[in-house]
Amino acid sequence: MRCSPAVRTPPPLARLATPMQYCTACQKAIATIVIMDLSEGAVTGSQHVCQACAEQLGVAAPKAPKFSTETLEDLLGGLKGPRTRSKPHEACPGCGLTIGEFRSKGRLGCPRCYEAFRAELLPLLQRIHEAQVHTGRLPAVTTQPPPPPDERTLTDVRRRLEDAVRGERYEEAAKLRDELRRLERGPTT
């Protein structure tokens, strides 16, 4: 029994099947998902399917292969070259967290961990953020104010705004209106 695409329920309504029920689609594997057909809020039918058949029906997303954190770090770390490692039994003097626990949890235990595991963290930060130093969110403040808007620029924006309104391109006109206001207002501090 296969559900038609119009009757099939979305994946959030799928739930675990009862143990040892065989898949109704392939009749070979143990069913792990129940697809319920709903009509006006009432269950009109159900289908017990295995993970593979659920993926074929489009009810369940394919499972991604599982890699441990250490495996991924080794694979990605090999691209950047060799790195220095802390000894696996070294622990943070502040909280007692070991480098192995950090690798499995992905979180540090206290502020002193940054210094204790500095040799491990710097290459990791370089790989993830492409930098080892935080530079902030905003650019440096300039000492010279920007030049005043050129009259030709204002005239050009006004002309493009009129063309956009005539052509009924209202989204473009709104952007040009905002740009014109910004140019007329001048630099803000």
Taking only the tens place, the pLDDT of each residue in 122-148 is 888 788 777 777 666 666 666 666 666
Whether 144 is in a domain gets the answer no
Whose tokens are 């499972």? That residue is 63
Coil, helix or strand at residue 36 = strand
Whether 142 is in a domain gets the answer no
Q: Same domain for 76 and 124? A: yes
Whether 5 is in a domain gets the answer no
Whether 49 is in a domain gets the answer yes
Q: Same domain for 43 and 74? A: no
Whether 100 is in a domain gets the answer yes
C-alpha span between 185 and 154 (Å, rounded) = 11
Band (7; pLDDT cuts 50, 70, 90)? very low
C-alpha span between 180 and 182 (Å, rounded) = 5
Q: Same domain for 117 and 157? A: no
Whether 87 is in a domain gets the answer yes
Q: Residue 189's CB: how many other CB atoms inside 10 A? A: 5
Q: Same domain for 86 and 116? A: yes
| DSSP labels, 138-175 | SPPPPSSPPPPPPHHHHHHHHHHHHHHHHTT-HHHHHH
User: What is the average pLDDT across 11-33?
Assistant: 71
Band (30; pLDDT cuts 50, 70, 90)? confident
Secondary structure letter of residue 106 according to DSSP: -
Q: Same domain for 87 and 118? A: yes
Read off the pLDDT of residues 75-134 as tens digits, 9 standing for 90 and up.
666 555 544 454 556 888 888 889 888 888 888 888 888 888 888 888 887 887 777 776
Edge-first strand order for the sheet with 15-16 is 15-16, 33-39, 42-49
Whether 175 is in a domain gets the answer yes
Q: Same domain for 75 and 51? A: no
Domain span at residue 24?
11-57
Q: Which of 160, 154, 155, 153 is nearest to 176 (CA)?
A: 160
Taking all residues of the chain, what is their mean pLDDT, rounded to a whole number?
A: 75
Coil, helix or strand at residue 105 = helix
**What does the block give as tokens for 158?**
């006004």
Examine the pLDDT at 162 and tell me if it is beyond 80: yes
Q: Same domain for 52 and 83? A: no
Q: Which residues make beta-bridge pairs with 16? A: 33
Q: Which residues make beta-bridge pairs with 34? A: 15, 48
Whether 63 is in a domain gets the answer no
pTM (two decimals) = 0.29
Q: Could you give the number of structural domains in the chain? A: 3
